[in-house]
Amino acid sequence: MIEHSGIRKRNLNTKQGKPLLIWGASGHALVVADIIRLSSGYALVGFIDDAPDPAPEYCGLPVFPNLSLAVELTGAADVILGFGNCMARLELEKQIRTLGLSLATAIHPSAVIASDAVIGAGSVIAALAVINPRVHLGTNVIVNTAASVDHESIVEDAANVCPGVRLGGRVHIGRAAFIGIGSSVRDRVHIGDGAVIGAGSVVVSDIPAGVLAYGNPARVKSKAPSA
């Protein structure tokens, strides 16, 4: 039983495994929870939402206002991030590691992953994603639904590759970069740290760090939004 906000809640695990917390309680967390449900090794015990006035439950499990309380009440030693904000993903990884916790990795069973691909801790690989040979994903990377990362590409820590994105061979995606839904990136292109690529863009040349770029071909439009 878990006591939180004066209410004793039953632990609603549906399977056996290591207790796991998802940090986030909205749309992407729902996707991550479903991947965990379909995978082996973890039992989801709750969510964390540090926004003002979070809902008491999400997906039938308790929502905790901070990481420390969630760990205290559930005994979980593993956490996975269930939101898409790239910069926040970088920052919260530090909190998780400071508490001596481990980052869980979620890989949908329908994803296709080459045997020599490297998948960093905390990464989320969604349904129908393809990770081809000699790809290297850093920590806390998202490769979302039906996205593909081709041979020898590097996707650095906390980058978010949105649904339907196509990355060519030997592409380099910088830390905390965001590649919008349905975009295509030509082979050998480098996208800098913190860059944001708008939805449906076609990227045929390098994009510097910290900018917003979009279009066909993608061109720099402004400084990247902070969120």
Active site residues: 151
Q: How far apart are CA 177 and CA 148, in angstroms?
A: 16
Q: How far apart are CA 57 and CA 170, in angstroms?
A: 43
Those residues with Cβ within 8 angstroms of residue 60's Cβ, 6 or more apart along the chain or in another chain: 12
CB of 63 closer than 8 Å to CB of 56: yes
CA–CA–CA angle 135, 20, 65 (5° rounding): 115
Bridge pairing between strands 61-64 and 42-48: parallel
Those residues with Cβ within 8 angstroms of residue 98's Cβ, 6 or more apart along the chain or in another chain: none
Q: How many CA atoms lie within 13 A of 215 on its CB side?
A: 10
Q: How far apart are CA 190 and CA 51, in angstroms?
A: 34
Q: How many CB atoms within 10 Å of residue 27? A: 11
CB of 89 closer than 8 Å to CB of 33: no
